[in-house]
């Protein structure tokens, strides 16, 4: 089971951005939703956070995937500064956004498609960001 219960509200917000629900970051911050709170959000609670059913459905689906995806506290959503990183210097390890990791794990056909897809663009951007950190 995924251990995201130690995430800060900033890391939860990054996860929302990774799953294309970044417009709700402010709402989550207002409600002080951190990883521990995220882990116990029920369908009923999510109705208060997402006024559009489609967005609520996407959130609940992605939350269930997050709960069942192997991941540790050392691999939070991308572009998040951990206190341990601040003490030991910048971390240049390759960390994919949650939605991309899940797509890779399930061998999503969009990653293999010759046409430009959102997942392929995200993969390319992640690799570019990683290489930029390594070469600077």
Domains of the chain are: 9-68 (1.10.150), 88-135 (no CATH)
Contact 117, 58 (CB under 8 A): no
Condensed to tens digits (0 to 9), the pLDDT of residues 48-86 reads 999 999 999 999 999 998 888 765 444 556 554 444 444
Rounded CA gap, 27 and 40, in Å? Answer: 17
pLDDT classification of 121: cutoffs 50, 70, 90: confident
b/e burial code for range 117-126 (CB count within 10 A of at least 16 → b): bebbebbeeb
Q: Give, as one character, the DSSP assignment of residue 114.
A: S
Please tell me the predicted confidence (pLDDT) of residue 1: 47
User: Could you tell me the two tokens for 5?
Assistant: 């219960």
| Mean pLDDT across the chain | 79
pLDDT classification of 119: cutoffs 50, 70, 90: confident
Q: Give CA separation, 79 vs 99, 112, 130, in Å.
A: 14, 25, 11
């Amino acid at each position: 089971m995924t251990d995201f219960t130690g995430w800060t509200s900033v890391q939860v917000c990054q996860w929302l951005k990774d799953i294309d629900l970044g417009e709700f970051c402010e709402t989550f911050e207002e409600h002080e939703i951190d990883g521990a709170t995220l882990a116990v959000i029920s369908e009923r609670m999510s109705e208060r956070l997402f006024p559009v059913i489609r967005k609520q459905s996407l959130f609940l689906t992605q939350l269930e995937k997050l709960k069942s995806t192997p991941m540790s506290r050392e691999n939070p959503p991308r572009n998040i500064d951990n206190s341990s990183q601040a003490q030991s210097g910048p971390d240049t390890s390759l960390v994919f956004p949650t939605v991309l990791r899940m797509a890779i794990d399930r061998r999503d056909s969009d990653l293999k498609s010759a046409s430009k897809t959102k997942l392929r663009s995200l993969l390319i951007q992640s690799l570019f960001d990683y290489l930029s950190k390594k070469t600077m």
